[in-house]
């Protein structure tokens, strides 16, 4: 099989369809609104947004396939002279209604500059407002399962990568409990063919719905007070800080003249910031902060 950009993009579009259908079934109330857009520099995408559902307060499942000229800043970052690029992928962020249901993010993507510079990137990570250790172990086991199917080294490598990447340096805490993250995977770096790396990215994408459905259904009916809701808004604030300060996908989208509404769909509808907030000693909030650390072995 010859793996080309058109096949990759078409398969990612199918995965977007599968995920939006699965999330609508999970929510049971809200449905996705779709906007088809074109990028001025070349290509376009499908932005799908779901809001005010029974489970999902705000979420997006976006597909894009764009091409054009790389700006000088990106060329310098990549260390290349050529500037004709192609990039396609699916990006997801879900912000739930209930504070006991976690935020989740997924991205699978393919980038091509020339025959010698083509790579895959992506990952899934979980950001609970309250860390529930049983749920954390389940989530990481699901990530390990999909990694082990393709390479027994992947989970450890990509979990470490996620711990390093999703770290809010100015807060000295991780954004959540991590997951897996990888970037610029090539045959030379991994020993796996492009087709094998593509198949891994597709399997990862198709792990999203069963993983999040299980986590959401475990917690969607739990009662919560204003205290838990206010904590949820504070944790969303941390999520915003990471995405606007550190996230490479946000920077790439902005610097390549991406569609602003699609890029910033990752931000929640509401978030709070409190001055010098300190959780009560022995509280669930303090316990969560104590678990926002690198290198915790969550897998069973």
Catalytic residues: 105
How many residues are there in the chain?
300
Distance CA 226, CA 296 (A): 30
- As a whole number of Å, the CA-based R_g of the chain is 19
Cα angle, residue 245 at apex, residues 294 and 85 outer, rounded to 5°: 100
Query: For residues 46-80, b (16+ Cβ closer than 10 Å) or e, as one string?
Result: bbbbbeebebbbbbbbbbbbbebebeeebbeebee
Name which of 282, 268, 273 is nearest 127 in CA terms: 268
Q: Phi then psi for 116, rounded to 5 degrees?
A: -100, -5
Q: Copy the structure tokens of residue 258.
A: 């991406």
Q: Copy the structure tokens of residue 56.
A: 């999902």
Residue 145 makes CB contacts below 8 A (sequence gap 6+) with 207
């Amino acid at each position: 099989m010859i793996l080309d950009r058109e096949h990759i993009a078409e398969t990612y579009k199918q995965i977007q369809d599968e995920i939006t259908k699965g999330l609508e079934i999970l929510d049971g109330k809200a449905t996705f609104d779709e906007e088809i857009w074109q990028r001025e520099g070349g290509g376009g995408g499908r932005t799908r947004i779901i809001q005010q559902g029974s489970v999902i307060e705000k979420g997006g499942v976006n597909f894009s396939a764009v091409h054009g000229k790389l700006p000088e800043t990106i060329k310098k970052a990549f260390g290349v002279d050529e500037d004709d690029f192609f990039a396609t992928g699916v990006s997801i962020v879900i912000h739930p209604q209930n504070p006991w249901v976690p935020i989740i993010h997924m991205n699978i993507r393919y980038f091509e500059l020339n025959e010698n510079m083509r790579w895959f990137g992506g990952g899934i990570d979980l950001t609970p407002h309250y860390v529930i250790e049983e749920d954390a172990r389940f989530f990481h086991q699901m990530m390990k399962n999909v990694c082990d199917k393709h390479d027994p080294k992947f989970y450890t490598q990509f979990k470490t990568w996620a711990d390093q990447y999703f770290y809010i340096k100015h807060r000295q805490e991780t954004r959540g409990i991590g997951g897996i993250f990888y970037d610029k995977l090539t045959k030379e770096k991994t020993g796996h063919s492009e087709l094998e790396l593509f198949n891994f990215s597709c399997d990862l994408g198709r792990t999203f719905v069963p993983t999040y459905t299980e986590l959401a259904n475990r917690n969607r009916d739990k009662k919560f007070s204003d205290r838990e809701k206010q904590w949820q808004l504070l944790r969303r604030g941390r999520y915003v800080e990471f995405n606007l300060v550190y996230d490479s996908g946000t920077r790439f989208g902005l610097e390549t003249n991406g569609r602003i509404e699609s890029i910033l769909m990752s931000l929640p509808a509401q978030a709070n910031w409190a001055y010098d907030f300190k959780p009560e000693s022995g509280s669930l909030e303090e316990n969560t902060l104590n678990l926002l650390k690198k290198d915790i072995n969550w897998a069973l």
